[in-house]
């Protein structure tokens, strides 16, 4: 496999994950999780979202969370914004980067933000202008890049058109999102093989949901095409409230474990990340879908049972 020596992981659980939880997570616990992720060496964290509290009530404390987190040198703290008003709020709160989103399919864009793609583009143009004046980086995500829960397949030409409109506005970081886990590795390879030569110099990110247990295979396919920026969610938290059938994102600790086993560097302390996942399970009060928390790392060893130890040759005992 042609894999990069190092990748950059952006943790999205405190935004993408917490936004869909049925009970409001107290501000101090959100701050605690962000700080624990920072202590684990996570290089990028999408902390929260500056949206209207009636739309996403779970994140109504965005300003308070940003004001109270302990910022670790080397970690970039970002927030998702829907429009220029959200961008101004995020900049006032001191974010290091702004994340935006538009869908590749019209029906999902309408369900997600109640706008057509064209209307969203005008909003994003205003966001980019606000961010440019503040000299803050913008990353543009494209939901339903690999399939829409309402329309099914999204034509590659349609996805390319959305990417083109974003880059024409000045986007230099573009995320392809598998919003409901519809992608497969061959499709991911085909999409990247088509797009990357057409848009040289773009920093590509893959944002995957593990709805059908395809997230890590899809990530590996993307890495073979040079993608080195990946989103993950602690414990596998997440889902889209406006996309039927969406389940959690790829589990951050499972992904880091997989990469470490293959010798791909992330700069993240896996043991600390696993501890963060356990703490998040305590906070939300239920088990999460991540596997490494349950099984332990592949380097874990168990004592040989007494009934077996006596039968193993001394050299192997």
| Spatial CB neighbours of 244, under 8 Å, sequence gap ≥ 6 | 149, 180
Q: Which of 101, 95, 68 is nearest to 83 (CA)?
A: 101
Active site residue 240: yes
Main-chain phi, psi angles of 218, to 5 degrees? -65, -40
Catalytic residue among 10, 148, 240, 251: 240
| pLDDT per residue as tens, the chain (317 positions) | 899 999 999 999 999 999 999 999 999 999 999 999 999 999 999 999 999 999 999 999 999 999 999 999 999 999 999 999 999 999 999 999 999 999 999 999 999 889 999 999 999 999 999 999 999 999 999 999 999 999 999 999 999 999 999 999 999 999 999 999 999 999 999 999 999 999 999 999 999 999 999 999 999 999 999 999 999 999 999 876 555 555 689 999 999 999 999 999 999 999 999 999 999 999 999 999 999 999 999 998 889 888 776 676 655 54
How far is 90 from 95, CA to CA, in rounded Å? 6
How far is 173 from 191, CA to CA, in rounded Å? 16
CB 183, CB 207: distance < 8 Å:
no
Query: Which domains are present in the chain?
Result: 8-309 (3.20.20.70)
Number of other residues whose CB lies within 10 A of the CB of residue 23: 8
Distance, first Cα to last Cα, the chain: 35
Question: The whole model's pTM is what?
Answer: 0.94
């Amino acid at each position: 496999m042609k894999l990069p020596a190092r990748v950059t992981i952006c943790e999205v659980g405190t935004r993408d994950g917490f936004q869909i939880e049925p009970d409001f997570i107290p501000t101090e616990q959100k701050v605690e999780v962000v700080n624990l992720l920072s202590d684990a060496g996570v290089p990028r964290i999408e902390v929260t979202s500056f949206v209207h509290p009636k739309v996403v009530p779970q994140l109504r404390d965005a300003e308070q969370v940003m004001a109270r987190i302990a910022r670790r040198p080397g970690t970039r703290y970002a927030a998702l914004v829907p429009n220029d008003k959200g961008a101004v709020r995020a900049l006032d709160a001191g974010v290091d980067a702004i994340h935006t989103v538009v869908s590749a399919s019209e029906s999902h864009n309408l369900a997600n933000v109640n706008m057509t793609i064209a209307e969203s583009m005008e909003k994003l143009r205003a966001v980019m202008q606000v961010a440019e004046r503040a000299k803050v980086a913008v990353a543009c995500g494209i939901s339903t890049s690999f399939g829409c829960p309402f329309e099914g397949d999204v034509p590659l030409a349609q996805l390319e058109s959305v990417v083109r409109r974003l880059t024409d506005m000045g986007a230099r970081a573009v995320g392809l999102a598998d919003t409901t886990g519809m992608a497969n590795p061959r499709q991911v390879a085909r999409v990247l093989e088509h797009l990357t030569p057409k848009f040289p110099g773009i920093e590509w990110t893959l944002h995957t949901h593990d709805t059908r247990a395809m997230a890590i295979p899809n990530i590996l396919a993307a890495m073979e095409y040079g993608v080195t920026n990946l989103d993950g969610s602690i414990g596998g938290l997440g889902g889209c409230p406006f996309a039927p059938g969406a389940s959690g994102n790829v589990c951050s600790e499972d992904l880091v474990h997989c990469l470490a086993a293959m010798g791909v560097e992330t700069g993240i302390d896996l043991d600390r990340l696993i501890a963060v996942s356990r703490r998040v399970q305590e906070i939300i009060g239920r088990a999460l879908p991540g596997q490494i928390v349950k099984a332990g790392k592949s380097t874990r060893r168990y004592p040989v049972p007494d009934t077996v130890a006596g039968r193993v040759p001394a050299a192997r005992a």
